[in-house]
Structure 1
Amino acid sequence: MPKKKQECAQSPTEDQLVISKLYEIMEAISDRVEMHKNIGEQRNNWNSLLLTSINGLILGAATMAAISATSAVNFPVLALKVSSMTMYLAATGMLVVMNKIQPSQLAEEQRNSARLFQNLGFQLQKLISIGYPTDDDVKDMMERVLALDKAYPLPLLGAMLDKLTCKTEPAVWWPKPRPPREKGVARKNEYNGWNKNLEVEMRQIMGQVRKNDVEDYLRLGNKALKLNKMLAISGPILTTLAAIGSVFVDSSSYGGSLAAAMLGIVGGALAAAVNGFEHGGQVGMVFEMYRSNAGFFKFMEESIEMNLDESDVEKRDNGELLKMKVALQLGRTPKEIKDLNASSLRNEGQVDEFASKLF
């Protein structure tokens, strides 16, 4: 009997089991933060090393093509031609792989995911410290972790996001929100920090974010995407043409030899410039930044909409806290948000000012 009582005393209660599950999730989140940080640094190094190596091959091949073009008639240029062609072809293959995986964009993805996982860990700590977690909170946190894993995958083969998509779509790292059982507005004049005026303000700021901020970053993202596609296609084409030119650099025809030499030398120089601009300028990283910023504003929009669609005000986030959170995310004060909404109402929703001052 005493032994049985001791076993019962050691078994965890339901609340303790929930807390234990949340701590397991917190441990997984902490591990993911470190993984994404380390892999992000590795992929940033890939970008630097591959850029240096490929441009070194291209410029070396262009130099050999130039030497073979200026050599004497009886000078053995076959070795230079073969070396130049081989280096151009090697650079072409490496360029195709580099343009496919976009290391600078991969590094930016890992930086974003590490930040988002860290933020999720802070939310989990807050929930454990001052909240009353339940099994629903455990499921919600699990869904958020898995949604982040899907949005920012670590492996390259089979799971890597398409880097040269058809158009820019906002990054989505949160699970699909569950629809409320009944949509509506607050049934009480003021409850849980909500009132009619706050609902109007939140709807206005939601529309402002959707109309100006999200659309602007999607527009910029599409421009960066088109530029990246053009550069990604141009680089391998130029190195291939330069390889062909280096083969015929010693043609018996003077005009043909000159044209081949120009193709082998100028094509290589242009390829190095294109590659340096694309990966040295980290155009893929810029595209990912725009995509993530659009996702940030879309997430804010959906968070506000989810609260407004919930008719049971008690189940919403506290209105005052939500307003302060939105203000901080937009780089504004609550008063500035109120003034922005007032300006939008005066101009019938036609306000050119962006909701965010942060980005």
Structure 2
Amino acid sequence: MSTILTQAYSSFLCHKRSRTITKASIQLPKKLTTDPSNLPKLPSHGVLSVDQELNPNPKETDAAAVEKLYLIMEAVADRVEMHKNIGEQRNNWNSLLLTSINSITLSAALMAAIAATSVVEHGAHVEVAKFTSSFMYAAVTGMLVVMNKIQPSQLAEEQRNAARLLKQLLAQIQTKIAISNPTQDDVNEAMEEVLAIDRAYPLPLLGVMLDKFPSKVQAAVWWPEKRSNPVKRKDKKNGWNEGLEDEMKEIARVLEKKDKADYLRLDEKFLMLNKVLALSGPLLTGFGAIGSAFLGSSHDSWAVVAGVSCGVVASVVNSIEHGGQVGMVVEMYRSNAGFFGMVEESIELNLKEGDVEKREDGELLEMKLALQLGRSVQELRDLAASSNTSEEEMKEFGSKLF
């Protein structure tokens, strides 16, 4: 009996051990031999790639155009630094020259007063004082003629405007590369804009410097001739409707009759003031030089007045002109008038294009104008609605920004 039990127990253990081994062998991982190319493919119907989702009309990127735009960006960034550095330099010219000229002018007036006193009391050393005063007056007259001709404060404002516009152009090119597929037309347009800014705000002084005292006031122009965009848009209306066209016409009329006209009027007044001050300074110092030369002569009475008073008045005139940076104000008003001219030209270009699909997107144009004029979109629409009056009754300006 015990032998039978022992054999049964041994048989049970052997059977259990074989089941355990079999179970373990089933859990061992097997090498994947399936060919991925033989796997069934998912249907592509209704599924868009990432590029298709981001760009409804995908097209190949023009690598050459992108490379050229990057080259233009490098040149624009370099120009920004050039205009910035030269603008700071010319602003320093204005401060240093004004300080030096006023110091020399007042010193010449003081020497003229000392010479006049020496003639009355002692009559000694009067020739030295006269010569010193006349020499300083002559030197400062020459310095004033040059300073009034180049108008350092106006030059500095030109460079500041150029740096700002170039930074704006740089951002536009970066955006174009990021969200669209640039072409050779984009390269040509960017080149034209860079060269237009170069012509509007030249860096050299000799030969190409802008006329600081033009006979006729004109708004600044720093953009090339605009052309319509032949690229088809997202739909047939392209964000335009009859109401938006009427709104754009009214905005353009307000900018032309109010904003641009007002800045040109102010620019003309400050230009006339600058002309008077620029002529008065050298004339006064010139009279001071003549008066100092005649001290101690038979014309001593008026010579003292000319030698002393003209120098003091000349210092005041120079401080108003260059300390007040009248030339900078002239350039600022000229640039502001140019800005409104650019906005007006952009509106008219879109309205002249009969095919709305070739215009800028109407909604985007409306938003851009609102931002440029410091208004919300609704305020822009209210302005267009309220400006539908005669020019004499038109009271509100288009821009709230400046």
Assess same fold via TM > 0.5.
Answer: yes
Aligned residue identity for 1:245: G
Q: Is the contact made by 2:61 and 2:182 (CA closer than 8 Å) also made in structure 1?
A: no
Task: Give 1:75 shift.
Answer: 1.1
Structure 1 residue 180 displacement after superposition: 9.0
Contact 2:374 2:400 in 1 (8 A): yes
Q: Percent identity?
A: 61
* C-alpha distance in structure 1 between counterparts of 2:237 and 2:182, whole Å: 22
- Is it true that 1:196 corresponds to 2:242 in the alignment? yes
Amino acid at match of 1:172: V
1:108 aligns to what? 157
The 5 Å alignment of 1:49-198 reads: 49-71=96-118, 72-178=121-227, 191-198=237-244
Superposition RMSD in Å: 1.6
The 10-residue stretch of structure 1 (317-326 or 100-109) with the greater mean CA deviation from structure 2? 317-326
Counterpart Cα distance in 1 of 2:229 and 2:91: 42
Question: How many angstroms apart in 1 are the aligned matches of 2:237 and 2:273?
Answer: 51
User: Could you tell me whether the CA contact under 8 Å between 2:229 and 2:358 is conserved in 1?
Assistant: no
2:384 is the counterpart of 1:341: yes
SS in 1 for 2:72: helix
Paired residues in the alignment total 336
Equivalent residue runs for 1:204-219 within 5 Å = 204-219=250-265
Q: CA deviation at 1:348?
A: 4.8
Q: Report Cα offsets for 1:208-265 as digits up to 9, x if no partner.
A: 10000000000000000000000000100000001000011112x4xx3122111100
Secondary structure of the 2:219 match is: coil
Q: Residue 329 in 1 paired to residue 378 in 2?
A: no
Aligned residue among 333, 346, 370 for 1:303: 346
Following the alignment from structure 1 to structure 2, what is the Cα–Cα distance between the partners of residues 357 and 190?
A: 33
Equivalent residue letter for 1:30: A
Aligned residue number for residue 321 of structure 2: 278
Q: How far 1:73 moved relative to its partner? A: 3.6
Once superposed, which parts of structure 1, at least 4 consecutive aligned residues long, lie more than 6 Å away? none
User: How far is 1:65 from its partner?
Assistant: 0.1
Q: Matched residue of 2:387: which SS?
A: helix
Report deviation, 1:312: 2.0
Q: Does 1:19 align with 2:85?
A: no
1:114 and 1:21 map into 2 onto residues whose CA distance is: 21
Pair 1:266 & 2:309 matched: yes
| Partners of 2:255 and 2:397 within 8 A in 1 | yes
Q: Which residue of 1 aligns with 2:42?
A: none
Distance in 2, Cα, partners of 1:194 & 1:126: 24
Q: Which residue in 2 is equivalent to 1:37?
A: 84
Q: What is the deviation of 1:132?
A: 1.9
Match of 2:282 among 223, 233, 236: 236
**Separation in 1 of the partners of 2:364 and 2:220?**
25
Give the whole-Å Cα distance in 2 for the aligned partners of 1:166 and 1:179: 34
Q: Which structure would you say has the larger Rg?
A: 2
Superposition map of 1:285-300 within 5 A: 285-300=328-343
Taking the aligned partners of 2:363 and 2:76, their CA distance within structure 1 comes to 29
Deviation at 1:199, TM superposition (A): 0.8
Query: Residues of 2 paired with 1:222 and 1:179: CA distance?
Result: 34
For the pair 1:245 / 2:291, whether they are aligned, the reply is: yes
Deviations 1:315-336, CA, capped at 9 Å, x for gaps: 2111111101100111111111
In the aligned structure 1, how far is the partner of 2:260 from the partner of 2:236? 31
1-structure distance, mates of 2:244, 2:236: 10
- Which blocks of at least 5 consecutive residues in structure 2 are unaligned? 1-59
SS at match of 1:353: coil
Structure 1 length-normalised TM? 0.91
Note the alpha carbon deviations across 1:95-143, whole angstroms, 9 max, x for none: 0000000000000000000000000001101100002211111100000
Verify the 8 A CA contact 2:61 2:181 in the aligned structure 1: no
Q: Give 1:102's aligned amino acid.
A: Q
| Consecutive unaligned residues in structure 1, runs of 5 or more | 1-12, 182-188
Using the TM superposition, give the Cα deviation of residue 179 of structure 1 relative to its aligned residue in structure 2, in angstroms.
7.4
Q: Distance in 2 between matches of 1:82 and 1:177?
A: 61
CA–CA distance in 1 between the matches of 2:331 and 2:377? 30
Match of 2:30 in 1: none
State the match for 1:185 in structure 2: none
Cα distance, 1:14 vs. partner? 7.1
8 Å CA contact 1:91–1:239 kept in 2: the answer is yes
